[in-house]
Amino acid sequence: MKINHIGYAVSKINKAIERFQALGFKTETEVIEDKDRNVNICFMSNGAYRIELVSVLDTDKKSPIDSYLRSVGDMPYHICYECKDIYMEIDNLMEQKFKVVSKPTEAVAFDKRKVAFLMANNTGLIELVEV
Ligand code: NI
């Protein structure tokens, strides 16, 4: 499966953008507010490599990256793979012992395309995006 991006949990998105710019990454998007997931998102790329910086939008509310920031701090925490049919791909992966962490929902940062998160013992967290 083609990799779409590597997701980083970051505590301060604007600082993280500066740091990754120093490493040669360029921003592809503005900072996008995803109120459904309570996160800010910014995509950056460096040649063929694409990263997604994710920070908490409202710190008074729960967000999907709280545990990563609390336990380790800023860190890469998922790899996103592209698929054609997200429901079919989830079925395939479940046969390979993956468990669904969050079911397919539309994502603001992906022009409302569907994303889902899954996990297996030997892979950590993965994301699927329908393209
Ligand atoms: Ni992602």
Task: Give per-residue pLDDT as tens, 22-62.
Answer: 999 999 999 999 999 999 999 999 999 999 999 999 999 99
Ligand 1 centroid, distance to 5 Cα (angstroms): 6
Which helix H or strand E contains 61, and what residues bound it? none
pLDDT digits (tens, 9 = 90+) for 97-120: 999 999 999 999 999 999 999 999
Model pTM score: 0.95
List b or e across 108-121, with b for residues whose CB sees 16 or more CB atoms inside 10 angstroms.
ebbeeebbbbbbee
Q: What is the rounded average pLDDT of the residues 57-70?
A: 96
DSSP states along 8-33 = EE-S-HHHHHHHHHHTT-EESS-PEE
Q: Work out the pLDDT band at 17, boundaries 50, 70, 90.
A: very high
Ligand 1 centroid, distance to 127 Cα (angstroms): 6
Ligand 1 centroid, distance to 60 Cα (angstroms): 22
The mean of the pLDDT values for the chain is 96
Residue 67 is classified by DSSP as: H
Residue 92 is classified by DSSP as: H
129: phi then psi, degrees, rounded to nearest 5: -125, 135
